Amino acid sequence: MKKIFIAGCTLLSVSLVQGQLKEGKVTYERTLQMQIRINDMPGGMESQLPRTRTNKFELTFGNNQSLWKAAEQENDNDNVVSGDGMQIRMIVPGTDDVLYTNFTTGTSVEERDVMDKKFIIDDSIRPLKWKMTGETKTILNMPAMKATATNISTRMTMNMDNGKMERKEVQDTANITAWFTSNIPVSAGPAEYQGQLPGLILEMDVNNGRQVFKATSITEKADLAVIKQPTGKKHYTPAEFRKEREKMMEEMQKNNQGGNRVIRMN
């Protein structure tokens, strides 16, 4: 009887492992806190600026690869505010970008759009140092575990004063909280957070609500043919891309006439 019981448990364990989802499509909702400061803004315009923006994204995964892109949006991605001869157009980041990740090779290829110019950026997966907290909760009827990490990077700050937009690169330390599930043993997640944890990330909070991702649905069947690497004539490293983007922003500011202001939340 003892041998039969052990064999039965083994078969049950194998069955559960085989039943784990290793391919599919996840829909995420991203809420972004808009941090904008314009010193010479006419009265009344500041109250028109949105404080948050919510967009939907899709992550398709399978065959040790993933593809992240924006879902079909009901509204235009741009926000335009006008008043007293000034027009401000804010372009929300990420809504035109496509990110392909290959978990086997540990590499990624991203397509980014900057002022209608396409850039192809080659990079590698850089796992953060995650700490498991032991906390759990249920997300989309699946058990999820909490992990935290700190990501030190650089970001651009923008300040408009007397009609001149000043951009400054500052060091940014982001505190990240992620909830992932081992029911889907795929090291994928939202945006650039690929190859991070031993399971699919279902929720993520970056810097206490500055950027929040939440999975709203998971489809077990997905068209894996859409997981394709973005292509282009010229490929850039991340450093080369940042340099090119900065040059384009400086040129745009020089050519900017009248009361028009374009703010890209990159």
Question: 3 lies in a domain?
Answer: no
3 state SS of 123 = strand
- The confidence band for 204, taking pLDDT boundaries of 50, 70 and 90, is very high
What sign does the CA torsion over 215, 221, 226, 230 have?
positive
Question: 1 lies in a domain?
Answer: no
Number of structural domains the chain divides into: 1
Question: 9 lies in a domain?
Answer: no
Question: 38 lies in a domain?
Answer: yes
Task: Report which of 205, 217, 249, 261 is spatially closest to residue 33, judged by C-alpha positions.
Answer: 205
Q: Quote the radius of gyration of the chain (alpha carbons, Å).
A: 22
Residue 64's pLDDT is what?
96
**Rounded mean pLDDT of 156-165?**
62
Question: 227 lies in a domain?
Answer: yes
Residue 6's pLDDT is what?
36
Question: 6 lies in a domain?
Answer: no
| Domain enclosing residue 79, as ranges | 23-264
Instruction: Give Dmax (Cα) for the chain.
Output: 87
3 state SS of 252 = helix
Question: 17 lies in a domain?
Answer: no
Model confidence, pTM: 0.78
211-259 pLDDT, tens digit per residue, is: 999 999 999 989 999 999 999 989 999 999 989 988 887 777 776 655 4
